[in-house]
């Protein structure tokens, strides 16, 4: 196993399967992992952050939520300036719906990005675990790719 130079501070044995199952029954622990061998928790954390960043800004690396928020802001400025058309106002309604959906999908992608980390170390780092995301399995996730 390659060294990462964090071992002295961050290398530790992951919690046992029994501990994870008893304390976090909604997270399926990683059964394939040798839990008697210490591993670098910081490297796992960095990998989870990297996956979450990609999940938030999926290829082609456009943050859809921010893009929709900018479009909403633009139309609101037109409305404030009293130059918005009827179409602009209709677009605003659609954009609000798109924003809600985009936020929900981003939240789900971020949860999925953190899951491998939680399956090793348990939740506690990263975003709050949304039980509802995993209750019904993967049917909720439409990657749209």
Counting contacts by CB under 5 A, is residue 129 touching Zn ion?
A: no
Q: What angle do CA 134, 135, 140 make, to 5 degrees?
A: 60
Q: List all residues 6 or more positions away from 53 whose beta carbon is below 8 Å from its beta carbon.
A: none
> At its nearest, how many Å lie between Zn ion and the CB of residue 72?
41
For residues 43 and 108, what is the distance between their CA atoms, to the nearest angstrom? 23
> At its nearest, how many Å lie between Zn ion and the CB of residue 41?
8
- Member of 40, 48, 105, 113 binding Zn ion (CB under 5 A): 40
Counting contacts by CB under 5 A, is residue 4 touching Zn ion?
A: yes
Tokens, residue 3? 């060294």
Counting contacts by CB under 5 A, is residue 42 touching Zn ion?
A: yes
> At its nearest, how many Å lie between Zn ion and the CB of residue 120?
13
């Amino acid at each position: 196993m390659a060294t990462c130079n964090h071992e002295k501070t961050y290398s530790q044995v992951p919690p046992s399967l029994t501990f994870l199952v008893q304390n976090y029954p909604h997270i399926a622990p990683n059964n394939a992992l040798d839990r008697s061998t210490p591993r670098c928790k910081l490297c796992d954390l960095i990998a989870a952050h990297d996956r979450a960043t990609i999940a938030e800004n999926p290829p082609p690396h456009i943050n859809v939520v921010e893009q929709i928020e900018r479009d909403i802001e633009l139309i609101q400025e037109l409305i404030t300036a009293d130059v918005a058309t009827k179409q602009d106002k209709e677009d605003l309604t659609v954009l609000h719906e798109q924003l809600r959906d985009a936020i929900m999908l981003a939240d789900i992608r971020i949860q999925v990005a953190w899951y491998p980390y939680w399956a090793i170390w348990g939740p506690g780092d990263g975003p709050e675990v949304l039980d509802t995301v995993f209750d019904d399995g993967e049917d909720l996730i439409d990657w749209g790719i």
